Amino acid sequence: HTMTDNILEQQIEYYRARANEYDEWFYRKGRYDRSAQNNQRWFDEVAVIKNTLHQIGVVDDILELASGTGIWTEELLSIGKKITAIDASEEVIAINRSKLNSPSVEYHLIDLFSWEPDTEYDLVFFAFWLSHVPPKLLDSFLTKVYQSVRISGQVFIIDSRFEPTSTANNHILEDEGNIYKTRKLNDGQEFKIVKIFYQPDELQDKLKITGFQAEVKVTDNYFIYAHGRKV
């Protein structure tokens, strides 16, 4: 049982405990509410990504990994005829299910670090998940993603952009010690999680090595996103 195993378990516990307050972060509520200008930037940049995502058009089958409370599952509903949503927290799955209330979404409670893909999809999507994959497990995770995409199918990834003010987190191959961050719930309870900010060129390389043809972009301040194809 390694340090990383322990953190990956805490990471699941964190999102289970945070389920009810998770959306405050994305919708800039409560302690995530910044200046009107910053909030506006955030939502403008979200809109840029949503526009790119919707350019995919309509596909049959989507796999969403770490689907969370449904912020992106809702977007995917207008792209895919059927969505398979995987997450390791039953609490966030319950919120996702009750928000969307859609017969087109099938939920699975699965730990992605023991996940064994057995189906191919037209599109595999994950938002704000890649930054929680420890560098040592990144290659095997991306290989599983690749195995889940049918030939000429697509992958779409969204995550937080590396914070330009911090220098410690800007490389995949860094000290194990620097990949862990402490996160607090509204009630002050603390958890340790993995948080890595990938650079566009690193992510581009990783996707290429995995076998995808991909383009990685950033928005002005907050997000990194990648759109790839299995050729």
Residues that bind ligand SAM (CB under 6 A): 8, 11-12, 15, 66-69, 71-72, 87-89, 92, 111-113, 127-129
Q: Report d(CA 125, CA 120) in Å as an integer.
A: 13
d(CA 226, CA 224): 7
CB 169 within 8 A of CB 198: no
Which of 30, 208 has the CB closer to ligand SAM?
Answer: 30
Closest distance of CB 221 from ligand SAM, Å:
17
Terminal-residue alpha carbon distance, the chain: 38
CB of residue 189 to ligand SAM, shortest distance in Å: 16
Return the CA Rg of the chain: 17
Give the shortest CB-128-to-ligand SAM separation in angstroms.
Answer: 4
Cβ-based nearer residue to ligand SAM, 51 or 167:
51
Per-residue DSSP letter, 205: H
Beta bridge partners of 106: 84
Please state the φ and ψ torsions of residue 66, each to the nearest 5 degrees. 50, 55
Cβ closest to ligand SAM, residue 4 vs residue 205: 4
Nearer to ligand SAM, 195 or 217 (CB): 195
Closest separation between CB of residue 71 and ligand SAM, Å?
A: 4
Residue closer to ligand SAM (CB basis): 92 or 123: 92
By beta-carbon distance, which residue lies closest to ligand SAM?
68
Residue 197 and residue 164 in contact, taking contact as beta carbons nearer than 8 Å: no
In angstroms, give the least distance from the CB of 231 to ligand SAM.
26
The closest alpha carbon to 75, from 55, 103, 95, belongs to 55
